[in-house]
A = this chain, B = another copy of it.
Amino acid sequence: MSNVKSALGKPLAGWRTQLYAIIFEADTRAGRRFDQALIAIILSSVTVVMLDSVRDINVRYHQGLILAEWLFTFLFTVEYLARLLCVRYPFRYAVSFYGVIDLLALLPTYLALLVPEVGVLIDVRILRLLRVFRVFKLTAYVSEYQALGLALRASVRKIMVLLAAVLMIVLVMGTLMYVVEGPENGFTSIPTAVYWAITTMTTVGFGDITAKTDLGRLIASVMMLLGWGTLAVPTGIVTAEMSYARHAPATTRTCQECLAEGHMPDAHFCRHCGACLPDYAHERPQV
């Protein structure tokens, strides 16, 4: 939310400022209520799309669902126009990440009107499903995603290296299994065999394709134990980062007298020289 705001410069004066505060800000009471209502509507909209795909429900309540669909589309349209209206640079919003997603949530329903042929309707429904992406707007409201993302970003490079290693193993092992088991045992092609190898290494194990020969089962056994050990590595990487971050909050304060670091968040005095620490309590209300 704040990055959208910063990208648009200072908001305008008058009623547009008030509207801006309600729609884009989450700090005021009205803003918080708007966000909550929006999330509820998004979830309802997703639910309607999901229910519409269930055959029994589709047959019985098709009219109602289409009505709800149009209601949600109307609400999203009004919200989209309001957003465009209250920001200083509407175009910047329109091409921003959330602006594009907001638009994508509206388009499919309208496109189905412009191209009314029955046969195309099914394809249009595919586009309509993109509204599900609207849920991603939720992320903007939860500040915790950033903390989590930060911890993950630190280990992204290591995990990419691991992923490359896994892809190599999976490629070699899949090829090996294709040769050993062959098309008659379900390993119809190397891509299929690699799909099986990924299934095995990640311990998912669907079981639609399985080793039938003794040699194939031996290789599969090795792969399973391999995947089991490998599973520990990304976990280890992420945990090490999080464990480090968990300990970190205690180590950012510095004593102004002896410059000792690593004081706990609730410390008032330096544990090395006993000097009074810069008061933490001023930054947050006392409990």
Residues in A lying within 8 Å of B, measured CB to CB: 46, 49-50, 53-55, 126, 129, 132-133, 135-136, 138-139, 142, 144-145, 147-148, 151-152, 157-159, 161-166, 168, 171-172, 175-176, 178-179, 183, 188-192, 194-195, 198-200, 202-208, 210-211, 214, 217-218, 220-221, 224-225, 227-229, 231-247, 252-254, 256, 259-277, 279-282, 286-287
- By the criterion CB–CB under 8 Å, are B175 and A132 in contact? yes
- By the criterion CB–CB under 8 Å, are A240 and B237 in contact? no
| CB-contact partner of A266 in B262, B280, B287, under 8 A | B262
Tell whether A161 pairs with B138 under 8 Å between CB atoms, given A199-B205, A206-B210, A232-B239. Answer: no
User: In whole angstroms, what is the CA distance A237 to B166 when docked?
Assistant: 20
Interface centre among A147, A194, A202 (most CB of B within 10 A): A202
- By the criterion CB–CB under 8 Å, are B268 and A269 in contact? no
Q: Closest Cβ of chain B: how far from A57's Cβ, in Å?
A: 8
The chain B residue sitting closest to A129, CB to CB, is B175
21 A-B pairs within 8 Å (CB atoms) are namely A54-B188, A54-B190, A54-B191, A129-B175, A138-B164, A139-B165, A144-B157, A191-B214, A195-B211, A198-B225, A200-B204, A202-B228, A203-B203, A204-B205, A231-B235, A232-B235, A232-B239, A253-B287, A256-B286, A262-B264, A262-B265
- By the criterion CB–CB under 8 Å, are A145 and B161 in contact? yes
Interface centre among A133, A204, A275 (most CB of B within 10 A): A204
Interface centre among A192, A232, A270 (most CB of B within 10 A): A232
- By the criterion CB–CB under 8 Å, are B276 and A274 in contact? yes
Q: Closest Cβ of chain B: how far from A164's Cβ, in Å?
A: 7
User: In whole angstroms, what is the CA distance A192 to B253 when docked?
Assistant: 52
Q: Which residues of B contact A264 (CB under 8 A)?
A: 262, 264, 271
The chain B residue sitting closest to A206, CB to CB, is B207
Closest 6 CB pairs of A and B: A259-B281, A267-B271, A269-B274, A204-B205, A207-B207, A236-B238
